[in-house]
């Protein structure tokens, strides 16, 4: 049992922030030895319950739920910041060559270790990540996450066409490898498998059909892919699947839209696509730094909210430019503000700091089907949390000291914060202190 005393941020089921300036968080192992929140609330209200216990006191700090990154590519750690005129040349010139290096398991192991440490350093305690088409790249990431007790979802990329030698897989072998990885890793400790067709243009209909069949046979696995990110990509997908109603509908036709399916980007959608996401309870991973960097477009936050499909924030490293959830939340705010006056109308709106934070914690967890498991610190949730220092930089110290409300404090952290704010990342019983 661990008792912590500090300011404490958590959320209600529907994403309202609950904040105790002087809070108590009690974490205790459940029957299976998994650390869970036993109590969370004000110090005054809860202290009597834990009379006589050792308390870890962090004055001036904020305990908050670990961040959830819904979409990230660990093999693209080394291509961050590679400029290109758009998605397709970026894939061809930087991404595929970088991913081809993962044919060497030693390279995969070394990048996986760096990647997991970088997630934790930035306060990300749960991630859904692409590996590469090489099965050993999946083993490498699961091994690193397992060693740290992290909750992590990944999968072998399926891409049997329109891909260069070195990353292209074989239609049938790719599916056999995926099933073997499901059996080896899915549900082991805190690990989960995601069936991972890269995107419709790089998989044959036969491979997509096989992926959908696999998803039906293993209904509690995840599915991850990309959709409607870039105009050239969309034109290509439409040309390859001319009978589908839309690019998104291609996936639906192969049984790849269901709960626990996550599509990155979802920028250029129409009303029917949005209704389809909602009907299938399929999630969108919103990747603002990537969309700004690659010039892909602007996610329609108001449209998503109105249509009512689940969505959450993601870094999409290496198209995305930062591992830091603070940078992603800030970029989402900018994208939210951007409205288009005419043409394909996108209404600008001002996302609140609580909405931004929720979409990168509990909201993202809900979108992954991990509601009440991670991304929150209500009783019963797994006990991953971060310790934030609102005085981590001179400017942030000055600004946060003048915050008159929780919204102002959270906004100061979103706008001025980054990895320097994350003083500790605590994964269940394991503790990771970057500065220690």
Query: Which residues of this chain interact with Zn ion, rule CB under 5 A?
Result: 264, 316
CA distance 113 to 103: 17
**Closest distance of CB 290 from ligand GUN, Å:** 5
**Closest distance of CB 40 from ligand GUN, Å:** 36
Could you tell me where the beta strands, DSSP code E, fall in 228-356?
261-265, 283-286, 311-313
**Closest distance of CB 230 from ligand GUN, Å:** 8
Please give the C-alpha separations between residue 19 and each of 7, 64, 270, 411, in angstroms, as whole numbers: 7, 10, 38, 14
**Closest distance of CB 27 from Zn ion, Å:** 33
User: Among ligand GUN, Zn ion, none, what binds residue 87 when CB lies within 5 to 8 Å by partner kind?
Assistant: ligand GUN
**What one-character DSSP code corresponds to residue 435?**
T
CA distance 178 to 211: 9
User: Among ligand GUN, Zn ion, none, what binds residue 95 when CB lies within 5 to 8 Å by partner kind?
Assistant: ligand GUN
User: Among Zn ion, ligand GUN, none, what binds residue 199 when CB lies within 5 to 8 Å by partner kind?
Assistant: ligand GUN
Please give the C-alpha separations between residue 78 and each of 196, 226, 318, in angstroms, as whole numbers: 21, 20, 7
Residue 372: CB atoms within 10 Å = 15
- Please provide residue 373's backbone torsions phi and psi, each rounded to the nearest 5 degrees: -105, -55
User: Among ligand GUN, Zn ion, none, what binds residue 299 when CB lies within 5 to 8 Å by partner kind?
Assistant: none
Nearer to Zn ion, 368 or 416 (CB): 368
Instruction: Name the residue whose CB lies closest to ligand GUN.
Output: 319
Q: CA angle 151-153-375, nearest 5°?
A: 45
**Closest distance of CB 88 from ligand GUN, Å:** 9
SS3 assignment, position 109? helix
Nearer to ligand GUN, 73 or 360 (CB): 73
Name the nearest CA neighbour of 69 among 429, 299, 363, 380: 363
Both tokens of 152, joined, read: 């992590």
Write out the residues near ligand GUN by the rule CB under 6 A: 73, 87, 91, 95, 198-199, 226, 229, 290, 316, 319
Nearer to ligand GUN, 202 or 366 (CB): 202
CA distance 36 to 427: 11
**Closest distance of CB 176 from ligand GUN, Å:** 22
User: Among Zn ion, ligand GUN, none, what binds residue 285 when CB lies within 5 to 8 Å by partner kind?
Assistant: none
Nearer to ligand GUN, 73 or 327 (CB): 73
Nearer to ligand GUN, 71 or 274 (CB): 71
Nearer to ligand GUN, 140 or 416 (CB): 140
Name the nearest CA neighbour of 8 among 44, 37, 40: 40
């Amino acid at each position: 049992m661990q008792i912590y005393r500090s300011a404490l941020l958590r959320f209600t089921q529907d994403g309202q922030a609950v904040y105790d300036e002087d809070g108590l968080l009690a974490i205790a192992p459940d029957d299976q030895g998994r650390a869970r929140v036993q109590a969370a609330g004000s110090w005054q209200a809860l202290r009597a319950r834990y009379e006589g216990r050792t308390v870890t006191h962090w004055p001036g700090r904020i305990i908050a739920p670990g961040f959830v990154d819904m979409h990230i590519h660990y093999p693209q750690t080394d291509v961050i910041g590679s400029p290109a005129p758009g998605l397709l040349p970026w894939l061809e010139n930087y991404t595929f060559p970088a991913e081809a290096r993962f044919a060497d398991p030693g390279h995969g192991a070394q990048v996986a270790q760096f990647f997991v440490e970088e997630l934790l350093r930035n306060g990300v305690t749960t991630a859904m990540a692409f590996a590469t088409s090489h099965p050993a790249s999946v083993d490498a990431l699961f091994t690193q996450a397992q060693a740290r007790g992290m909750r992590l979802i990944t999968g072998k990329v399926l891409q049997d066409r329109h891909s260069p030698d070195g990353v292209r897989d074989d239609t049938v072998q790719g599916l056999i490898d995926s099933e073997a990885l499901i059996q080896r890793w899915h549900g082991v400790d805190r690990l989960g498998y995601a069936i991972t067709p890269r995107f419709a243009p790089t998989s044959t209909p036969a491979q997509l059909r096989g992926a959908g069949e696999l998803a039906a046979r293993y209904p509690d696995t995840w599915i991850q892919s990309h959709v409607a990110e870039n105009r050239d990509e969309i034109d290509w997908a439409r040309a390859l699947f001319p009978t589908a109603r839309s690019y998104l509908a291609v996936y639906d036709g192969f049984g790849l839209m269901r709960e626990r399916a996550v599509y990155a980007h979802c920028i250029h959608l129409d009303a029917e696509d949005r209704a389809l996401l909602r009907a299938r309870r399929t999630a969108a991973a919103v990747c603002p730094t990537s969309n700004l960097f690659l010039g892909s477009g602007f996610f329609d936050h108001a449209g998503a909210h109105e249509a009512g499909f689940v969505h959450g924030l993601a870094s999409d490293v290496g198209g995305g430019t930062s591992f830091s959830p603070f940078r992603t939340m800030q970029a989402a705010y900018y994208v939210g503000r951007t409205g288009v006056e005419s043409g394909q109308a996108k209404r600008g709106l001002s996302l609140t700091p609580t909405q931004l934070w929720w979409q990168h914690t509990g909201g993202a967890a809900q979108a992954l089907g991990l509601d009440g498991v991670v991304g929150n610190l209500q009783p019963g949730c797994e006990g991953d949390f971060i310790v934030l220092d609102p005085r981590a930089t001179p400017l942030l110290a000055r600004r946060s000291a003048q915050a008159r409300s929780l919204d102002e404090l959270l906004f100061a952290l979103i706008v001025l914060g980054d990895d320097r704010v994350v003083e500790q990342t605590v994964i269940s019983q394991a503790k990771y202190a970057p500065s220690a």
